Chain A
Amino acid sequence: MHSWYVNKTNMQMFDVERAYGLALLISKVTGSQSIVIKDLGFAYFIESDVEVSDVGENQKRDLETLFSDSNKFDYPLATQLRDRKTVVNETEKVVLENTNEIMKVHATPSFTVKFSIKKAEGLTTLYQSLDVTASKSFRELKMGMSYGEGGQLFVDKFSFSVALIGSAFFMHFEPTREFLIAIGPNPAEINVLSHMDIKNDMKVEHLCPISDLTVLSHYAVSLSLVLGERKAKGVYMNSYDCLVFNEMRRTGKQFKPSGSGRFPLDYCLHLSGSKEGMEMLKIVQSIFKRGFVKGHPQRLALALAQFLAEPSLDNYSRYIDIHLRGYIEKDKNKRISNLYDRASLEEAIKYVKSE
């Protein structure tokens, strides 16, 4: 087995993007079907059963296909309005000319991302669409008395290129009128090829857009449904422990950094482990799909998102109460007609946390 490391930087989205991006590069170069990513805590560990040989013409052609559809980079470079094409071309150049070097530096855990708050040779802007932390980077001491808001962060070109590829091919971007959110599952231990299958099977075209929390919860439910179906069929199980997200708010023509972090998957994954839980997840998905309807459906979707993020008794009480009120609503368009199988509901409340 051959291995690579992606050291973490405490910028969660940037780290996940780099892990996925490097795994994709390795799969293109080695042609291996068995690339595994593991989260070791301090770093992501990537393993392949095929050794990286010198990059030949075939591998170069394969790598070039990554950049053939420039639209793929629109959201990962959403804040780069003027020279998006130039950035993509430069990234392509860096990747094609330095593939072996990129592999080599990641082969030991000693490689760390080079950060700077000043633009310099060999460094490139880390856009907030890849990680919002980058746009305000580190606070700076002013006259030794107070702190000023930080400026743009710059990183080395290898790390940037790998992250950009990871973002373009592995992150889900959900644009709404108010925000743009990028979501990706954190790979606890996954096979990259299976991950691509899972990603293709997920129904995430229209995530419930009423808030960032509903988008994340809806994504978590879609992922859990696919994982549950694969588990039932006995297909190799990928293991994810949370969702990593990166959110920007729309302010006129510009995006402003809004937030980033992790969304827990525990509750949805518990449900995906049983037939009854899967039935519950299907109802949950249908509730999110109707979340655009104002009134009870919208309120229910919001309460549900809150409950999935934190399955406490308080959040459950609020959710079930809104559901019942929606059920007895007289207006047919605003009525919530779902009811639960007894077994499904029992499964759902099994994991409600007490105070």
Chain B
Amino acid sequence: MLNLNELFRETAVENFGMALRISIREHQDYASLVELKYAEKKMQFIESLANFLRRYDARARAYEREKGRIAFRPSKEDLDKLMELVEKYGVKAVSAALISHALVKVGGGE
């Protein structure tokens, strides 16, 4: 049985959630939010995640160029784990957990 709370606490969901939070709250990445929200099947989810990562990577590279610091990026392991979770719990639950992270208060800068 799904426990959204446990899903929310998964490291992979946390890392992708943090990336989504930065994208949406600091760069108004509305497109990623819409795509993730409306993905119903696994393939649609993979496609929307790929689009999100492409946009996120472009912004991360720009940040690194400007600030000379390494930007946060979810790892390959995070991606594999996320896909595992999608397989286990379904697209809707995983995207709800990801979007929830975008509304969490953060103490310091990200």
A320 pairs with B96, CB closer than 8 A: yes
Residues of B1-55 at the interface with A, using a CB-CB cut-off of 8 Å, are 1-5, 8-9, 24-25, 28, 30, 33, 37
Assuming the A-B contacts A314-B92, A317-B37, A328-B30, are A323 and B5 also in contact, with contact meaning beta carbons closer than 8 angstroms in the complex? no
- In the complex formed, the residue of B with least CB distance to A323 is B103
Out of A316, A328, A342, A350, which one reaches B24, CB within 8 Å? A328
CB of A352 within 8 Å of the partner chain? yes
Residues of B within 8 A of A (CB): 1-5, 8-9, 24-25, 28, 30, 33, 37, 92-93, 95-97, 99-100, 102-105
Query: Which of A325, A341, A345, A350 is B100 in contact with, Cβ under 8 Å?
Result: A345
Q: Shortest distance in angstroms between B36's beta carbon and chain A's nearest beta carbon?
A: 9
* Interchain CB contact under 8 A, B5 and A328: no
B37 & A346 in contact (Cβ 8 Å cutoff): no
- In the complex, what residues of A have CB within 8 A of residue B93's CB? 313, 354
Given A339-B103, A340-B103, A340-B105, check contact A325 B33 (CB 8 Å).
Answer: yes
User: Is A97 an interface residue when CB atoms closer than 8 A count as contact?
Assistant: no
- Interfacial chain A residues near B99, Cβ < 8 Å: 317, 320-321, 324
Main secondary structure of the interface of B (DSSP, over half): helix
Inside 8 A of B95's CB, which chain A residues have their CB?
Answer: 317
Is B4 a contact partner of A342 (Cβ separation < 8 A)?
Answer: no
Contact A324 B96 (CB under 8 A): no
Within 297-355 of A, Cβ neighbours of B (below 8 Å) are at 313-314, 316-317, 320-321, 323-325, 327-328, 339-342, 345-346, 349-350, 352, 354-355
Q: Report 29 cross-chain contacts, Cβ distance below 8 Å, ordered by A residue.
A: A313-B2, A313-B92, A314-B92, A316-B4, A317-B92, A317-B95, A317-B96, A317-B99, A320-B99, A321-B33, A321-B37, A323-B103, A324-B102, A324-B103, A325-B30, A325-B33, A327-B25, A328-B24, A328-B25, A340-B104, A342-B105, A345-B103, A349-B5, A349-B97, A350-B4, A350-B5, A354-B2, A354-B93, A355-B2
